[in-house]
Structure 1
């Protein structure tokens, strides 16, 4: 087990290099559903928080209401992987959505982008009913360089909340 202050920076570095992640939710019948999303992570030296800008579809709203946790997995062809399990809170109020919009618009490359490019918004802005987000509070992190699998070298870092 690794302390959060050691794994969080390694996780953010790998996640922000890979950018796109497979994110799984669970429906009301306990069936998983995955989608590719674009999280941004913030480490302040004590707390790691993730953010995802997404459309608040009926499916996502129902899944998170039933099971407010997600599994997030990043992978590269060189087999570098990192994953997070996280509790999810919706960001649905106008002030929160505007803050989320600005967080992505002013985010570091390559994870920062202007949310106005999202096709589902159809020209809408941060207070559009088609724009919302998730605040992610990690409960488990894992970082594994591909060399662990391909060369038998390197270190797998793991962390669980409360341990």
Structure 2
């Protein structure tokens, strides 16, 4: 029995529009995602957060307003790959494999602040002012998320659809 995925799984696409409606529906329904990183020994660590996703050029990109904790910092410094997982009781799922990088860019931080305030295209978001003093506040940290693979599974038929970034396809 092989445990490796086929090189070109059925339902794979490099056009995010092919899975966008299902992605938006599940992310908007669930809102909270489990973020998983790994330590230097390859051990996973999970935490529940609310990332926001957008499509500035047609392809997905994400942002995470967060605290820069020592564990998160060390994990991402060693391995910037992370996975975000959404699951609903209807068995709808989204798994996002991404590369995370910290940004201190003031314009990006303002953009993320507003995206959370207004709500992402899926409806996720909240008032960051409940936790931080503003986009340039000293404790707010912003993690840029560059997805390279997204899998959407719909519970009613268990159909799996996979998007891959063009560079990683």
TM-score (norm 1): 0.84
Match of 1:141 in 2: 150
Match of 1:3 in 2: 14
1:54 to 66, 78, 81: 66
Moved more, 41-50 or 23-32: 41-50
- Residue 81 of structure 1: how far off its partner (Å): 0.6
Aligned residue pairs total 154
Contact 1:8–1:43 under 8 Å retained in 2: no
- Residue 45 of structure 1: how far off its partner (Å): 5.6
d(CA) in 2 for partners of 1:39, 1:16: 11
Please list every run of 5 or more consecutive structure 1 residues that lacks an aligned counterpart in the other structure.
150-154
Moved more, 13-22 or 81-90: 13-22
- Residue 21 of structure 1: how far off its partner (Å): 0.6
CA RMSD of aligned residues (A): 1.9
Q: Is the partner of 2:129 in helix, strand or coil?
A: helix
Please list every run of 5 or more consecutive structure 2 residues that lacks an aligned counterpart in the other structure.
1-11
TM-score (norm 2): 0.82
